[in-house]
Amino acid sequence: MATSASNPLRLSSRTDHFVLPKQWAAMRKAKQQEEESGKAIIHFEKGDFQGDDLKPADNVIEAAQKALTDGHVRYVPGPGLPELRDAIAEEATKRGRPTEREEVLVTMGAKHALTQSLLTLIDTGDEVIFPNPGYPPDEFWITYAGGRVVYAPLVEPDYNFDLDSLKNLVSEKTKMLIINSPQRPNGMAVGDLDKLAEIAIENNIIVLTDEIFSHMVYNPDGHQTIAAQPGMADQSILVDTFSKTYRMTGFRIGWCVASKELITTMDIFQQNSVTNVPAFVQYAALEAITGPQDHVGEMVETLRRKRDYTVERLSKMDGVECQAPDGSFYVFPDIRGTGMNSQQFADYMVEQHQVAVVAGVAFGDQGEGHIRLTYALPDDQLEEGLDRIEQGLANL
Ligand SMILES: Cc1ncc(COP(=O)(O)O)c(C=O)c1O
């Protein structure tokens, strides 16, 4: 009898494009370096908070513990706890997109909301206009769905779309435009929201607006959503998360707001995949969004201080130019003056100076010439990491 070991694995052809996330290559390399050399690395490459001063708030942790003790350990309604959906509806309404409970879906993080949006809307042959540089998991699911990624370059120095070139990318097949504001990896806010909305409405393009850094904004105008533009409520999917505003990256909870019809369809997807977001996690999120908010402002001030320090230090280094981002916890300095490309820079720093950064090219070819650093680190590590980069450049 044949043994199963001799049979080749017959993977679906839909997995042909599967590769581990490009932007995490730096993390994998840093980990390997650490294991092999035994030398500690400063981790500027992670898209997460590090250290004790940027933990979730105590009331949120307590709410999760209490929910477990109170027995919230069973299945709950697919689209989310009604009281949590109401609180999210209020949040979206405050942003200028009047929202009802039925227009809210609670998801396993923003990533899951993005995935569900793409898999629910994109057909074979559909085109999706996608920012370059952008967020690679979106490309992954567009491709999985059989869609075509149409890259729209973000133009320096403020990383906005060039509206005329964007219009030229629109075809009859264009179904979606993805925007992310403040953007990753460069932290800049997307401008011309009114003009983008006009293009979307005129061409019946749905805008997937990823706003995970909505509360991590430093400029005085605060955060603006395209979903609040006239006519855009049903022409957009507003995605946000508890990961960043409430420092709850490991809880895996986010949300999206869209038309009732779309949310009803996405809820069918959700119920047939993950069923629901764990109840005790939803109770923690409910406490986060309805409880005291002063810690959010404190976090933004802490991050602003770290941002200013990071920008100031990097700007003084030879061959590096760094502008202050409008939001997020990333900087995206231009390193072309060092004579290295972004991957060479990242490899050199992690191999020779024990400091890990992400090569800008991991986010698209428009990211070449830049590196991405996360500055949500304890002050001493931030200082040490920047010292190491400075030293690395001096040694060239
Ligand atoms: C642009 C962008 N969208 C979505 C996500 C995913 O967020 P979540 O933790 O809510 O899944 C990230 C994570 O860093 C991100 O950078």
DSSP 148-173: EEEEEEEETTTTEE-HHHHHHH--TT
- The domains of the chain are located at 12-55+295-394, 58-290
Take atom 7 of ligand 1 and give the residue whose Cα is closest. Answer: 110
Atom of ligand 1 nearest to the CA of 114: 4
Contacts of 93 (CB under 8 A, 6+ apart): 99
Average the pLDDT over 156-161 and give the result.
Answer: 91
Q: How far is the CA of 250 from the centre of ligand 1 (A)?
A: 12
Which CATH code is given to the segment(s) 58-290?
3.40.640.10
Closest ligand 1 atom, CA of 180?
Answer: 1
Q: Whose CA is nearest to atom 14 of ligand 1?
A: 47
Percent of the chain residues topping a pLDDT of 90: 94
- For the cut 90, the answer to whether the pLDDT of residue 2 exceeds it is no
Ligand 1 pocket residues where CB is under 6 Å? 47, 109-111, 135, 180, 184, 210, 212, 241, 243, 249, 254
pLDDT value of residue 22: 78
pLDDT tens per residue, range 58-100: 999 999 999 999 999 999 999 999 999 999 999 999 999 999 9
Write out the E strands in the chain.
42-43, 104-107, 127-132, 148-155, 160-161, 174-180, 206-210, 236-241, 254-257, 330-331, 355-356, 358-359, 371-374
- 328-356: per-residue pLDDT in tens? 999 999 999 999 999 999 999 999 999 99
Task: Please tell me which of 19-28, 31-40, 199-208 the model is most confident about, judged by mean pLDDT.
Answer: 199-208
Instruction: Indicate the pLDDT class of residue 23, thresholds 50, 70 and 90.
Output: confident
Cα 74 to middle of ligand 1, angstroms: 27
Which among 118, 139, 140, 184 is the best mutation to test ligand 1's pocket, defined by most ligand atoms within 8 Å of the CB? Answer: 184
pTM of the model: 0.96
Flag whether pLDDT at 31 surpasses 80.
yes
Q: Is residue 53 exposed (0-12), middle (13-18) or buried (19+ Cβ within 10 Å)?
A: middle
**How far apart (Å, rounded) are the C-alpha atoms in residues 172 and 86?**
37
Helix axes 25-37, 342-353, angle to 10 degrees: 20
125-149: average pLDDT: 96
CATH of 12-55+295-394, one of 3.40.50.12660, 3.40.50.720, 3.30.70.600, 3.90.1150.10: 3.90.1150.10
Give the per-residue pLDDT at 9.
94
Residue in the block written with tokens 């809210």: 104
Model confidence band, residue 1 (pLDDT cutoffs 50, 70, 90) = low
